[in-house]
Amino acid sequence: MRDLLSIRDLTADEILTIIQRARWLKERRQKRESHRPLEGRTLGLIFEKASTRTRVSFEVGMFELGGMTVLLQGGGSQLGRGEPIRDTARVLGSYCDGLVIRTFGQDRAEELARYCERPVINGLTDHEHPCQVLADLMTVAEEYGDVRAVRYAWVGDGNNMAHSWIHAAAVLGLDLLLACPYGYDPDPRVLALAERDGRGRVAVVRVPAEAVRGRQVISTDVWASMGEEAEQKARERAFRGFCLDEALLAEAARDGIVLHCLPAHRGEEISEGALEGPQSRVWRQAENRLHAQKAVLEILLLMGAR
Ligand code: CP
Ligand code: NVA
């Protein structure tokens, strides 16, 4: 692994190592033990979309590991005035030890990685959100021990989060059932790759209760992702019946948990009761972004060292 642009950049062993390392880092942090392997290193953050968790967890994570960050936001940099990503990549790669990018097209993150001599991490594109799914898997590991011993459901849009989950299922061999309204399926190429690999079991159904029934890990996400705000009303109509609420959750396994990457829209894709109820692990999941990313930073930045 040189870059983390997709969950597919990781092997199953690497994912399990990141989870294990993240749990170790979490424990050390809880004991307030200092651990600064990235002293003197710098992480560049390019954010062309809004963020709360991703930005802050990378900034805090890098600080705790002994390094520092530099933030470039679309509007405040020459990227916002049209400087090509490949030019930015070469320059930032000569200053920083690694980059995180949150942007629209996956091709933009890929171009950055192609031209940057340092590791590039996808902090969310329209196509994938690998760092989030690593934190989600860590949360599952904390709950059940073995991430491969439970069954997964996705309720909602076949979006970037769904894609990263499908890739994770294919790499780790997970059983994942997705319920998506007609017209909002995951990218067929992502599904085809999972089918080709044949390790996991991935399928799309139309009825949320069918996807959730008897399963442990129930995930959802907003109906309109960043960049799709104009489709909000049409999506509200299309996703009617896809709210993860207490009635739907009652179909899940009795020891099932609810995950949501946040931000959440209460009363749309998730009910207040499901988000705040006893089966929710959403706040722990959000905290785990910090630990999982610190594990990724340690591995990538030390491996990509000069
Ligand atoms: N889940 C997540 O990526 O949150 P932010 O958009 O706040 O970074
Ligand atoms: N699918 C959402 C995830 C936000 C973290 C989006 O892309 O806006």
245, 268 Cβ separation under 8 angstroms? no
- Dist. CA 6–CA 125, nearest whole Å: 10
The predicted pLDDT at position 304 comes to: 61
Which residue is closest in CA terms to ligand 2's atom 1? Answer: 225
Determine the distance from the C-alpha atom of residue 59 to the mean position of all C-alpha atoms in its chain, rounded to a whole number.
Answer: 17
Identify the CATH homologous superfamily for domain 130-285.
Aspartate/ornithine carbamoyltransferase (3.40.50.1370)
CA 283, 127, 302: angle at the middle one, nearest 5?
70
- Dist. CA 238–CA 63, nearest whole Å: 43
- AA identity, residue 63: F
Which residue is closest in CA terms to ligand 2's atom 6? Answer: 225
- Dist. CA 154–CA 217, nearest whole Å: 8
Per-residue pLDDT tens digits of the chain, which is 306 residues long: 599 999 999 999 999 999 999 999 999 999 999 999 999 999 999 999 999 999 999 999 999 999 999 999 978 899 999 999 999 999 999 999 999 999 999 999 999 999 999 999 999 999 999 999 999 999 999 999 999 999 999 999 999 999 999 999 999 999 999 999 999 999 999 999 999 998 999 999 999 999 999 999 999 999 999 999 999 999 999 999 999 999 999 999 999 999 999 999 999 999 999 999 999 999 999 999 999 999 999 999 998 654
The predicted pLDDT at position 20 comes to: 98
Which residue, among 151, 215, 127, 172, has the nearest Cα to 18 in the 3D structure? 172
**How many Cα atoms sit within 13 Å of 208 on the Cβ side?**
22
The predicted pLDDT at position 265 comes to: 98
211: left (phi over 0), alpha (psi -120 to 50) or beta: alpha
Listed in order, the ranges of the chain carrying CATH 3.40.50.1370 are 7-129+288-303, 130-285
Give 185 Cα–ligand 2 centroid separation in angstroms.
Answer: 16
Give 47 Cα–ligand 1 centroid separation in angstroms.
Answer: 11
Q: Which one of the listed residues 261, 281, 285, 291 is annotated catalytic? A: 261
In the beta sheet, which residues pair with residue 68?
42
Give residue for tokens 């997709």: 6
| Residue 126 alpha carbon, nearest atom of ligand 2 | 7
- AA identity, residue 153: A
Q: Which one of the listed residues 55, 132, 260, 281 is annotated catalytic? A: 132
Residues in the ligand 1 pocket, defined by CB under 6 Å: 51-54, 124, 132, 261-262
Best mutation site among 261, 262, 282, 289 for ligand 2, i.e. most ligand atoms within 8 A of its Cβ? 261
The predicted pLDDT at position 136 comes to: 99
The predicted pLDDT at position 74 comes to: 79
Q: Which CATH architecture has domain 7-129+288-303?
A: 3-Layer(aba) Sandwich (3.40)
Hey, what are 173's tokens?
């061999």
Residues in the ligand 2 pocket, defined by CB under 6 Å: 124, 159-161, 221-222, 225-226, 261
Give the predicted TM-score (pTM) of the model. Answer: 0.98
